[in-house]
Amino acid sequence: MKTCLVVDDSKVIRKVARHILETLNFEVREAGDGREALDACLDTPPDVILLDWNMPVMSGMDFLRALKDSDIAQRPKVVFCTTENGMAYIRAAIEAGADEYVMKPFDRETLESKLQIVGVA
């Protein structure tokens, strides 16, 4: 079973994402900000991370930089997840190391399609 780390400061979003991911047969872990997510990755890297962009403590962008600088051998795929759809914003996320992008709110089909694109579903 593949694992997905859902990183979002909103409990509601984490709950919705968890529900969808579990129907897609993922084992789901959760983190409330980038710092918690980094700790979770250093402990046991997931196969994929669903990453919110605007979070307290450590933002999605800062998390991606920290992930890049870490010595995690098997880098997880990262799908960044936001309410923004500006081109500059999306390009910045890709340059920072995100593999895919999904806009909130998303449905099961959309998320499944993104997970297929990054090769984990």
Partner 1 sequence: MRATLTPSASGSSSAMNMIAALLEQRAGQQIAANRAWRIETALKPLLRVRGLKTLDELVAQLSASRTGELGDQVVDALLNQETSFFRDAMVLDTVSEAIRAIQAANPERRVRIWSAGCSTGQEPLSLAMLLTEKGMMQDALAPEIVATDISPAALNRARAGRYSQFEIQRGLPVRRMVTWFESIGGDWVAKPELVRRVQFRQHNLTSDCAPAGRFDLILCRNVMLYFSPTVRRQVFDILSSAVRPGGLLVLGAGETVIDLTEHFNPSEQFRGFYAAADGATPTLTTAR
**What residues make contact with partner 1 under the rule CB under 8 A?**
85-87, 90-91, 94, 98-103, 106, 109-110, 113-114, 116-117
Residue closer to partner 1 (CB basis): 11 or 110: 110
Residue closer to partner 1 (CB basis): 29 or 114: 114
- Angle between helix 34-43 and helix 60-69 axes, rounded to 10 deg: 30
CB of 26 to partner 1, least distance (A): 19
Instruction: Tell me the C-alpha to C-alpha distance, in Å, between residue 1 and each of 27, 64, 96, 100.
Output: 7, 24, 28, 21
Residue with tokens 């409330």: 32
State phi, psi for 80 to the nearest 5 degrees.
-90, 150
CB of 109 to partner 1, least distance (A): 7
CB of 114 to partner 1, least distance (A): 7
